[in-house]
Amino acid sequence: MLQKPRGTRDFLPEEMEQRRSIEQRMREVARRWGYREVCTPDFEHLELFTMKSGEGIIQEMYVFEDKSGRKMTLRPEVTAAVLRMYVNEGRVLPKPIRWCYFADCFRYERPQKGRYRQFWQFGAELIGADTALAEAEVIMLADDILRSTGVAFDLHVGHLAPMKHILSGLDPADQGVIMACLDKHDREGLEAALAARRLTHLAEPLAALSDCSSVEEVFEVAGDVPERARIEEMFAILDSQEIRYRPDFGIARGLDYYTGTVFEGFARNLGAENQILGGGAYRLAHLFGGDDVASCGFAIGFDRVMVSLGGVELPHESVVGVVCTPGARGRALQVARAFREAGIRAEADLMERGLAAQVAHAAKTAEFVVIIGEREVEAGTVTLKDLRTGEQQEMGLEDAIAGVAGHGHR
C-alpha cells in the first residue's frame, strides 16, 4: 500500500473545515486592514532564493531541473516571491502596497511536531512606506490576526540597530558569525565565538539586550544608536494602541535579510517549537531588478497555530438526508436541490437502499430526514422527521426548509 510522502499530511473533512474556518478569520482581519490577497507560483527559479541567502540554503529546499535544464525549486517561503512579483507587476501601483497571502511552502528538513516538509503560511507585506507608523501597522496587523484565531501567544518586538551598534567595530565576517549565534539562541556557540575572537567583553551587553524591560534601558546598554528617535516613535505608537508585547532587542532573526524592526510571536502551550510568527523590515526588491523600496512584513506558521489551538469549534450546520421510494426519486432530487439553494446541506441516497435502510444511514450524519413517497409526490408535500426526537410531520416544502433553517440558527 502506497503511503503519503514523509513530512506531508492528509486532511480529512472535519480537520479541513477547521483549517478553513481559521483561514477565513485571518483573511477577514487582513481585509479590514486593507491588505488584498495575492498568489505566486508554487515553484520559482532557484536564484530567487539563493541570491540573498546563498547556496547553502539549497540543501534545505526541493530543487530540480525542468526539461529545459533550468534550475527550479518549490518555494521555501513566500516573501521573496511576493517581492519578485512586485518588481514584475507592481512597481507602477500607488504606494504603499498592502498585500497578503495564504500559501503552502516546501522545505526538505527533518519532520517533527509542528514542522513539516509541506507547510502553510499566512503572511502580509507592506511595500513602499518607510516610516515608523508603517512598521507599527504591520506589527498591529500581525497581532490582530493572531488574536482572531484564538491562539494564546506572546509577542516580542525589537530592532536590530542596538545590536548592530554594539558590534559596529567588528569585521563583517565576525559580525555575521556572532549574530548567527544570536539568531539561533545558541549561547554556547556565542560564548565560543566571542572567546575565539577575544571579544568576551561583548557578552554582557549582548545578553543585556534580551533582558531590557523598556526601550529606555536598551539605549543605556547600547549607547548612542543613530535610529533611536525612529525606534522610540514606533514603540510609542504600539503603546498608544495598547498592543501587548515584550521589548526584545535580542531578536536577531535573519540578519542578512532584515534591516531594522523585527518581531516574533510564540504560542504559550507549545514546547521548543513554539514560534508561530516572524517578521520585520527589509529591502529585497533591488536584488530582483527593482527599486530599493522599503518593505515590512511577516509570516504566520499556520500549522503550528492549528497545533496550538488543538481543536476548533465550528458553527452549527444542520444536515438533511433526503430519502425516497423508487417512484419518487425525481421529486427527491428536486427537493434536495431546493434545500441546497436555501443554503442547507442536503444528501440524497445513491445506493438504491430500501426506505428504512436509507433513514438508518442518514441518521449517521444528519439531524433531519425528508421522506418522499408516492403520497407526498401526489400531495406536493414532504414528510420532515427530526432524528433527535423522532417527531415527524407532513408539510409543504417551503415550511420544511424554514423549519430546518430555523433549527440551524439556534
Q: What is the CATH topology of the domain spanning 13-160+251-309? A: BirA Bifunctional Protein; domain 2 (3.30.930)
Is residue 70 annotated as involved in ligand binding? no
Is residue 341 annotated as involved in ligand binding? no
Is residue 79 annotated as involved in ligand binding? yes
Q: Are 400 and 382 in contact (CB under 8 A)?
A: yes
Task: Kindly report, as residue ranges, where domains of CATH 3.30.930.10 are found in the chain.
Answer: 13-160+251-309
Whether the per-residue pLDDT at 320 is higher than 80: the answer is: yes
Is residue 258 annotated as involved in ligand binding? yes
Amino acid at 261: T
Rounded to whole angstroms, the Cα distance separating 100 from 82 reads: 9
Highest mean pLDDT among 134-148, 262-276, 383-397: 134-148
Whether the per-residue pLDDT at 150 is higher than 60: the answer is: yes
Highest mean pLDDT among 17-31, 220-234, 268-282, 394-408: 17-31
Residue 267: closest CA among 303, 241, 314: 303
Is residue 121 annotated as involved in ligand binding? yes
Is residue 313 annotated as involved in ligand binding? no
Position with higher pLDDT, 233 vs 313: 233
pLDDT in tens, 340-388: 999 999 999 999 999 999 999 999 999 999 999 999 999 999 999 999 9
| CATH superfamily, with its number, for domain 319-408 | Anticodon-binding domain (3.40.50.800)
Is residue 118 annotated as involved in ligand binding? no
Apex 130 CA angle, 146 and 142, nearest 5: 0
pLDDT in tens, 7-64: 999 999 999 999 999 999 999 999 999 999 999 999 999 999 988 777 778 889 999 9
Instruction: Name the residue with cell 540578519.
Output: 255
Q: Measured in whole angstroms, how far is the alpha carbon of residue 9 from the centre of its chain?
A: 17
pLDDT in tens, 248-294: 988 876 556 788 999 999 999 988 889 999 999 999 888 888 889 99
Task: Kindly report, as residue ranges, where domains of CATH 3.40.50.800 are found in the chain.
Answer: 319-408
Average pLDDT, the chain: 91
Amino acid at 108: Y
Position with higher pLDDT, 235 vs 53: 235
pLDDT at 255: 52
The pTM of this model reads 0.90
